[in-house]
Every structure is written in C-alpha cells, then in structure tokens.
Structure 1
Amino acid sequence: MDRFNPGSSPIHFTVVLPSSARPTREPVEQPQHAAALDIVYIEGFVAQTVIGIDAGELHEPQPVQLDLAIGVPSLRACETDRIDDTINYAAVRAELHTLLATHKVQLLEALAEQIARLLVDRFGAQWVRVKLCKPAKFDDVAAVGVIIERQRERFA
C-alpha cells in the first residue's frame, strides 16, 4: 500500500473556526523604548586586585579583566567636539584603578556592582554593562566571571 500524501489526495478539508475562537487582528502595541543611547566603551582593561573566596586569593593581587559599555543619551560631543561633553576614558580608567586598589569585597558580582554604581553616580551613565572576569582562573577554562547590566533608575 502506498503512503498517504495529502498533497495528492482529491479530498480537501477546510476548517472554519467560530469567531470566538479566531485570533484577533487588533493592532499590537509597540513597546515604549527609552531615548536612544550612545555607547562609550572600554574593552580589555586589565588590572590587579585582591578578590576571591579561596584562602590563596585573600591576600595576593590577581589579574582581572573588564569590558565596559557605558550608555549616555545622545552625546553632545558629536556636535561640540569637547571632552567635557562625553565620557572621559582616562578619568574612568583612573577611577577604576583606585576602586580596584581599595575595595573590600570578595565576589566578582559585588565588585561589578560597585563599578556599575561608579559609572552611574560619578560619570552620569544612564545604562551600563560591566563584564568582569578572572582570566585563566583554572587551567582548563579561559576565564570565569560575571556580566551585569544596570540602569540609573536602579540606583535612585
């Protein structure tokens, strides 16, 4: 016996659903988006800090790597060409070195949160993404870490 092929069958079915079972065609509301943000980023920032929960990590600095995306509303610097109208990479870098030398937390998550707060509070970021990792923490892993995203409203 041949296999049934619905495309070659002379019998066709049409299913009509009652109007109460039909999907509605009402216009779908588009989500409201916040104002567009320009992204200033710092990628591959490497520094030494004391971070961790293992006994060997509590006293000796170890390398950490940061990638930052800093969202700011429509950078005026695009029009003015002035450093005061944007995020100053050198100032962020200096603040990061200070924070990494003075923080008192053990977890990458807590340190990433402090970095996010710094970028929002001191540099006026509306949104940030902080990727913080320990490169080569284990022999068989390239890096371990955390990525967090925060918005200004969270810190208000």
Structure 2
Amino acid sequence: MKIATKDRVLIEGLTVSTTIGVYDWEKNIKQQLVLDLEMAWNNQPAGNSDDVALCLDYFKVSQAITNLVAANKFELIECVAERVAELVIQQFAVTWLRVKVSKPSAITNATNVAVVIERSMHN
C-alpha cells in the first residue's frame, strides 16, 4: 500500500550577506537577508530506513543558497526569491517550495519587509 504524504523539509532563518537594493548607496554595501524555505519532500523512505542518502540534504541546500545569494548582486528581494526557487528545484529535484526572503533593514520604522513566493516543478 502506498501512503500519500505531504511531507516538508524546512530551513528557517538562513542569514546571508549580499549586495541588495535599488538605491546607489545600497549598491556598494553588504546587507543581511533572511531566508525561510518550506520544501516538499517525501520523508517516509528516510524515516523508515534511517538512511541519510534518502533525505533532502538541508546542509547542501543551505550551502547552495548561501553561495548563490552571497556571490551575486540584486536590486530586488523578489529576484532573490526567484533565483533561490529555481536553484532548489533544478539542483535538488524539489517538486514544490515556498521561499520567504526578508530584508530586515529595509525600512527603519519596521521590523521587517519580506516577499513570499511558491513555485513548483513543471512536468
């Protein structure tokens, strides 16, 4: 019997320093972005076997995202979210994910600004 799953793997609070912003002064400094990801992944095979090879390797996902974001310059957090979604879907075969990109320093009288996107693999 095959059991339907709606399993998720989460990465929360992944902080990356990058060049981000539309203003001239932002184009020459590093700012912190905070990323939260929710990724669809069938955890049942790993859970039943206790075999790490069957897991979504959240360490490798985090490293790949950090490398992508830190190595590039962006104007918009929307662009960061799209690039991260593309990377995770293509490199790790995740079929669906939700990406939240926060820029806590964007507005001085707000705790945070963020965008959230959901993307899925095209079959």
TM > 0.5 fold call: yes
Letter paired with 2:22: I
Following superposition, the deviation at residue 104 of structure 1 comes to 3.9
How do 1:95-114 and structure 2 match up within 5 A?
Answer: 95-114=64-83
Q: Which residue of 2 aligns with 1:133?
A: 102
Higher-Rg structure is 1
Which string of whole-angstrom CA distances, capped at 9 and with x for unpartnered residues, describes residues 53-100 of structure 1?
111111211000011001123541111212221111211111112101
Partner of residue 91, structure 1:
60
Match of 2:34 in 1: 65
Give the structure, 1 or 2, with the largest relative contact order (CA under 8 Å, sep 6 or more): 2
| SS in structure 2 at match of 1:36 | coil
- Considering fraction of residues, name the structure with more strand: 2
Structure 2: segments with no counterpart, 5+ residues: none
In the alignment, is the contact (CA less than 8 A) between 2:16 and 2:32 conserved in 1? yes
TM-score of the superposed pair, with normalisation by structure 1: 0.71
Rounded to whole Å, the distance in 1 between the matches of 2:5 and 2:67 is 31
Where does 1:1-156 land on structure 2 (aligned, <5 Å)?
Answer: 36-153=5-122
State the identity %.
Answer: 32
Residue identity in the other structure for 2:81: A
Q: Which runs of 4+ in 1 moved over 6 A?
A: none
SS of the residue corresponding to residue 37 of structure 1 reads coil
- TM-score scaled to structure 2, two decimals? 0.89
Could you tell me whether the CA contact under 8 Å between 1:75 and 1:86 is conserved in 2? no
Query: How large is the Cα RMSD of the aligned pairs?
Result: 1.5
Equivalent-residue separation in structure 2 for 1:152 and 1:37 (angstroms): 16
Contact 2:38-2:97 at 8 Å conserved across structures: yes
**Tell me, what secondary structure is at the counterpart of 2:41?**
strand
- Structure 1: unaligned runs, 5 residues or longer: 1-34
